[in-house]
Structure 1
Amino acid sequence: MYDVTVIGGGSGGYAAAIRAAQLGAKVVLAECAETGGTCVNRGCIPSKIWLRAADILHHVKTGREFGINASLEGIDYPAILERKNGVSAEIRMGMEALLQNNGIEVARGHAVLKSPREVDVDGRVIETKTIIIATGSSLSAPAVPGLKEAAMTTDDVLEMAKVPDSILVCGAGCIEVEMAFLLSAFGCRVAVASGDARILPKEDSDTSQRIAQALRDRGVEIIPRASLESVELSGARAVCRLSGPKERTVTVEKVLVSGRTPATSGLGLENAGVALNEARGIRVNDRLASSVEGIYAVGDATGGWMLSHAASSMAVVAAENALGAGSRYPFNRIPRCLWTQPEMAAVGLSEEEAERKGHEVETGVFPYAINGLAMVRNQVDGAVKIVSDARYGEILGVHIVGSSATEIIGEAVLAMQLEATVQELARSIRVHPTFSEAVVDAARDAKGWALYLPRS
């Protein structure tokens, strides 16, 4: 009898298994594919290798601004792929070594729930006290006539030896926007069909506008309120018909398929009575418990947060709760990030969300254009925006567009976790010159005493 059975060896399952083992549990982890899941093999890590290559390419092209006159001989796509595969393999090896180091048994095969206390892994029945489901997500293509013949998935993008000359990106969420930046950086003509009035519709409107402008500056066409209705091949081209307020066609080489759906089918959830939510993910409460006692779920499998760091942080709480703790998971402190040019990062409520929730909102904004380090590096696009409660000074959300945003957002998460007020953040000290100074300057602006902004 095992104390904990973890299904899935990606970011969430790996972390859950290790945390449970640290607490003295007898743990078995079931995985039917590669250790590391989507993040290590087909998501976070591979995409950041490609985006790092794009960043280096950008620096080579703009080196003259700093007196560096370098010529570009070409792009070695096989070398990018070799590095991507090497880094992923190294991380997988490290994960497998740590699982072994923590005394975690790994059962290779497809796991199916037979009951709330039994898991079948390719014919082997495992008896267990608790179960943590961390099966992640899988690619999902919309049912659009003709799409299959012209489709290029995100998996394909990360394995490409040749960049398509043009592509239509359907949707304007985080994955789609990041892919648009990546492809355009390597010379692909990109059009983004957003079903909403703006890209990144769940983010603060200022963030959306800044990232949209960055895309347009790189030649990306953004088509608002447009949905893909059909694709018709014409030779080597795909003629895409878009519906919306104005119907139109876009002719491209490829159409990006980037949607993801929780990987919950074929798990035998019905055998245990586990309930699903509208997204077809496992319904969990704030303790990450499912509708069945003793069964927990984390990460993409819950359908709510398609983010590796959300999965791994949820895994810690789920593992502890599976072994008797009663911790609540802080969904409001999950940061969202994009490794675009410039980067984007956010945590908490947007200004619009805060107002809808009835807060008397106070905002502070500090542009990168007058941040010392941003000026030094010529990375002046972007700003830090802080959304706070005017009465109590509670930090409700922080939104950053700019260089190193994905690193700086960590201090906003910590400030919210420690319940720091915007007044306290405004009196904090940062090294000069750094991008993080902009966070303090934005907090000062929220309280009306920004030192480096003109009086309004």
Structure 2
Amino acid sequence: MPDFDLLVVGGGPGGYVAAIRAAQRGLRVGLVEKERPGGVCLNWGCIPTKAMLRSAEIFQTIKDAADFGIHADNVRFDFAAVRQRKDGIVKELTDGVGGLLKANGVTLIEGHARFTGSTTVEVFEAGQSPVFPGGPRYAAAPTATAVRTVSAADVIIATGSVPALLPVPGAELPGVITSDGAFGLTEVPARLVVIGGSAVGAEWASLFATFGSEVTVVEMQDRLVPLEDKEIGVALGRSFGKRGISVLTGSTVTGIARAEGALRVGVGGPKARQIDADVVLVGVGRRPNTAELGLDLAGIATDARGFIPVDGQLRTGVEHVYAIGDVTGKALLAHVASHQGLTAADVIAGYDAHIDYAVIPAATFTHPEIASVGLTEDAARAVGHEVITAKFPFSALGRAKTFGETEGFVKIVAGARHQEVLGVHIIGPSASDLIAEGALAISLEATLEELADTIHAHPTFGEIGMEAALTGLGLPVHIAPPRKR
């Protein structure tokens, strides 16, 4: 008899959720985790960055307090205290995950798992790995011997991803860090170059600029956050420029060298240049964390990028082996990993569960925030939709005026014939919270008329979806109607 009905390898937002759901379904569950429960999201990603971004937001609000009739003198920040608060939040949440696993009867096994067969693993003592110079990542200790062997009827691989390393000369120099390594900074760098203007890079750029760094963002594409709707990326670039953040789009880093006590970053593009920095932060994407897992011994194949292919129920090509989260390459988002975990656990427990990737909201916690769900305008046209777009600015929203945050807009992409909502794209205050209505609208195949006819509380940020829908119908109330030709 195997040790467990289900063994989950990796305790991130996909793995621990899968373990809890499977235990609730009556399975005997083991979970192997080499760090603290919670994975990248709780320890090195979603939660700690948002904790620090909140500190930056409060700092900026206090500096701008005179605009609200409040006067505060000698405003300063304590970066050590910012980091301490972040650490406290992370510990509280990771401890909470550990408590939930215990409360649901999941057996937590500390260490690094390595397959010896499709449903058997050896667990090694975890040691810090030298292959992740940007931050603390762990693999099997180089000289470790197996602590124990574990078998299960089914296995879920949930080992997540790690920051991608930059393949340019000088990327290994001290002071060149990944997003993981940013948490190890004990001081705010005076000069920071961020390589990559997608969500991760843009968030760190926004944070350190608020704390006083001179920030330059180098992005290969023609705009920031290039996966977002084009108008969103353009708007963020304009906002960054107003805040003094230098944005170099259509540019690449050709090399990094130590010169005159600084890191000299060579940038190629429309205007080749060299930029001196104290810290260079690489935020160019992530790669699957499958190192030293022994996937070949389990017969598990990966694609050209190293991700594990899965079907709609998260099955790999090996019977009784499933994969969830970033390691599948579907959508590298914590909430997607969690839903995949729930689906895989239910399938293993005998339920007919599936996951739908058509409606996945995403949020970027810059200032202003960005959030989106569904198709961009260009993507909708590319797949054959005739579309109309509806926009409404936060500057015309009462709640935004009173809140003092009027930058940005909501853009709805809808079908031209039936006016069904195909995508919602937001840049502005509380975008990450507002996007839930857009996700629900797409899931329920709502139309602009249905959004417009839904009574929204006033004055709230949430009204902006209704106002945008009215605009799309040609019936705007709080902005001027379009000019008749």
- Give TM-score, length-normalised by structure 1: 0.97
- 1:32 is matched by which residue type in structure 2? K
Match of 1:271? 297
Aligned to 1:438: 464
Give distance in 1, aligned partners of 2:301 and 2:452: 45
**Alignment of 1:127 onto 2:151:** yes
CA contact (8 A) 1:289 1:297 kept: yes
Shift of 1:348: 0.9
Q: What whole-Å deviation, never above 9, does each CA across 1:346-373 have from its counterpart, x for those lacking one?
A: 0111001000010011211111010010
Amino acid aligned to 2:459: P
1:186 to 205, 211, 228: 211
Does structure 2 conserve the Cα–Cα contact (< 8 Å) formed by 1:31 and 1:108?
Answer: yes
Query: Which residue of structure 2 aligns with residue 140 of structure 1?
Result: 164
Superposed displacement of residue 377, structure 1: 1.3
Asked if the contact 1:131–1:296 (Cα under 8 Å) also holds between the matched residues in 2, the reply is yes
Alpha-carbon distance between aligned partners in 2 of 1:245 and 1:59, rounded to the nearest angstrom: 36
In structure 1, C-alpha distance between the alignment counterparts of 2:304 and 2:250, rounded to whole Å: 23
Which amino acid letter does the alignment assign opposite residue 143 of structure 1?
P
Q: Establish whether residue 9 from structure 1 lines up as the match of residue 11 from structure 2.
A: yes
- Counterpart for residue 246 of structure 2: 221
- Offset at 1:115? 2.0
Report how far residue 417 of structure 1 moved.
Answer: 2.0
**For residues 21-60 of structure 1, what are the structure 2 equivalents within 5 Å?**
21-60=23-62
Q: Secondary structure at the match of 1:318?
A: helix
Whole-angstrom CA distance in 2 between matches of 1:68 and 1:313: 44
**Partner residue, 1:109:** 111
- SS of structure 2 residue aligned to 1:359: coil
Is this contact kept in 1: 2:266–2:273, CA < 8 A? yes
CA-CA distance at 1:215 after TM superposition: 0.9
Q: 2:88 aligns with which of 71, 86, 89?
A: 86
User: Partner letter of residue 235 of structure 1?
Assistant: E
Task: Give the partner amino acid of 2:412.
Answer: I
Q: Contact 1:60 / 1:72 at 8 angstroms: preserved in 2? A: no
Asked whether the 8 Å contact 1:81–1:159 carries over to 2, the reply is no
User: Could you tell me which amino acid in structure 1 is paired with residue 232 of structure 2?
Assistant: T
TM-score normalized by the length of structure 2: 0.91
Task: Give the corresponding residue for 1:453.
Answer: 479
The CA RMSD measured in Å over matched residues stands at 1.4
After alignment, is 6-15 or 388-397 more displaced? 388-397
CA–CA separation in structure 2 for the residues paired with 1:434 and 1:279: 44
For the structure 1 residues 328 and 72, does the alpha-carbon distance in structure 2 shift closer, same or farther, using more than 3 Å as the test?
farther
* Structure 1 residue 52: Cα displacement: 0.5
Letter in 2 for 1:417: S
Shift of 1:416: 1.9
Please show how residues 298-337 of structure 1 align to structure 2 within 5 Å.
298-337=324-363
CA offsets, 1:218-237, max 9 Å, x none? Answer: 11111111111111211321
Out of 273, 282, 290, the residue aligned to residue 248 of structure 1 is 273
The question of whether the paired residues in 2 share the 8 Å contact of 1:264 and 1:282 is answered with: no
Paired residue for 2:181?
156
Shift in CA distance, 277/17, structure 1 to aligned 2, threshold 3 Å: same
In percent, how many aligned pairs have the same letter?
Answer: 38
Taking the aligned partners of 2:156 and 2:303, their CA distance within structure 1 comes to 17
Structure 1 residue 137 displacement after superposition: 1.2
Q: Tell me whether 283-292 or 338-347 shows the greater mean CA deviation.
A: 283-292
Q: Which residue of 2 aligns with 1:368?
A: 394
Q: Secondary structure at the match of 2:172?
A: helix
Give a deviation string over 1:36-56, Cα, whole Å, max 9, x none. 111111111111111001100
- Give ranges in structure 2 of 5+ residues lacking alignment: 125-145
Give CA-to-partner distance per residue, 1:368-419, whole Å, 9 cap, x none. Answer: 0100100111210011111111223322111011111111111211222222
Displacement of 1:91 in angstroms is 0.7
Bigger shift: residues 331-340 or 180-189 = 331-340
Q: Which moved more, 1:260-269 or 1:48-57?
A: 260-269
Displacement of 1:72 in angstroms is 3.2
Q: 1:195 is matched by which residue type in structure 2? A: M
The runs of 5 or more residues in structure 1 that have no matched partner are none
Counterparts of 1:441 and 1:273, CA distance in 2: 54
Question: Which residue of the partner structure matches residue 204 of structure 1?
Answer: 229
